[in-house]
Structure 1
């Protein structure tokens, strides 16, 4: 286990039972030495992730919390930090998505998506800020999406919520910058996680990969490395920024494969 810069710090990672969140929690604990809250609504998954970290020599505590239950969230956060201590690092990773045509999008799922993807991160940041300001140091990393920058078919609620999360990142960043707290976002491209597979379907992965200059899906490790950077002292002068970790997807614009290859000769 690392005894590096975060050895005396506490990190809270939401949606940490699987996928990106689990990898972020693992690397914060094992590479950076942080004590990590593994927060998720999936009690068994959170416990499994925390146990795996502890067995590998890290420090982790599973916390069961449903971010969709907005009315109960402030009390749940107070109870959690009264027991385990307030977080120095917050990674708002949890998110939900469904692919539904915009004209047919149901308002109940719209409201749930906004609660989990936007309102809950706001409440988590508000909860952590007094402690961070008192210490004069804090790191907040919001996991947004390229869907918050460019529209995608079927992503009305998800894309809108992630655009809002990017705006929320900038708003908090400018208001807390003088206190030693940085607030940044990461916009993952297509990442090979259970949620992405459920939304895109395995049959569509090759078509998605064709739109990515690196021609592959990203991995949870790709995102975790970016989180570790934004949570580190190396990023002291970076705040209010959204970092795309997407294999070049947002930069590509109109990407035409084989554009510069000679055209096939016409038959005589």
Structure 2
């Protein structure tokens, strides 16, 4: 059997890097894509069967060039993980159009552009699209007007992809991470925020990057060969609780 190849955007750190490593452990090769050239190339250099391509996924021409290079590397793409994204939190009244567009151009436009550019390659392999949204795309919360809206749009885009690309054997699914214990999150979350999340999540803890990566790689694998159009919340039960007042669960 030929070695399968996954392309992962936002692969220089966090969930993207964890996903890259898990694909490699499963015997895949990986094309790592990120706009942070220094960190990307450093991480890729430490991994076998991983190749780095520097690309801003919001730039249509850069995406087309990246896709052509990625396909040329191993001659095939079996899975595309659209993980690249930016976080921006602030009140609606303070979110001007320029700020709105900065979020949309990466979180939504980037998913659309990368997917479109690699559909021809995925048709050949009957491969998988895996988009990363967020729990913020499933439930509204304060300070997330641009971020949450962009992720809700990614969820709908995933359903459109599943509906239209299924005839080619391409599967499209979406993972919505809940609170994840990343270095960035731990740097900005106060103890009060951490305690509040723990109280609101039925499993009473943050998730890990590895736990999210496990779901991603499974949905891209042959083990999920009849799964498409699905929105999977990897969130410790956070979305299922609604208001989720801890006192009402005891």
Q: TM range, normalised to the smaller chain?
A: over 0.9
Q: Which residue of the partner structure matches residue 36 of structure 1?
A: 30
Superimposed CA distance per residue, residues 98-125 of structure 1 (whole angstroms, 9 cap, x where no aligned partner): 1110111021121121111111111111
**Pairwise CA distance, 1:53:** 2.2
SS at the partner of 2:104? helix
Contact 2:78 2:128 in 1 (8 A): yes
TM-score by length of 1: 0.86
The structure 1 residue matched to 2:15, chosen from 17, 20, 23, is 20
| Offset at residue 209 of structure 1 (A) | 2.0
Whether the 8 Å CA contact 1:88–1:128 is kept in 2: the answer is: no
Map of 1:202 onto structure 2: 190
Q: How does 1:104-253 map to 2 (within 5 A)?
A: 104-135=94-125, 137-197=126-186, 201-203=189-191, 204-253=193-242
User: Retained in 2: the 8 A contact 1:68–1:112?
Assistant: no
Alpha-carbon distance in structure 1 between the residues aligned to 2:94 and 2:124: 47
Q: Specify the structure having the higher radius of gyration (Cα).
A: 1
Structure 2 unaligned regions, length at least 5: none
2:47 equivalent in structure 1: 53
Counterpart for residue 64 of structure 1: 54
Instruction: Give the Cα–Cα distance (whole angstroms) in 2 for the partners of residues 133 and 185 of structure 1.
Output: 19
> For residues 220 and 142 of structure 2, what CA distance do their matches in structure 1 show?
32
Q: C-alpha distance in 2, partners of 1:227/1:182?
A: 13
Q: 2:244 aligns with which of 229, 233, 255?
A: 255
Instruction: State how many pairs are aligned.
Output: 249
User: Residue by residue, what CA displacement relative to the aligned partner does 1:34-62 show, whole Å, maximum 9, x if unpaired?
Assistant: 110111111121122212322xxxx1011
User: Can you give the 5+ residue segments of structure 1 that lack an aligned partner in the other structure?
Assistant: 262-268
Moved more, 231-240 or 181-190: 231-240
Deviations 1:10-57 (A, max 9, x none): 111011111100000000011x11110111111121122212322xxx
Task: Give the Cα–Cα distance (whole angstroms) in 2 for the partners of residues 195 and 260 of structure 1.
Answer: 30
CA distance in 1, matches of 2:249, 2:69: 60
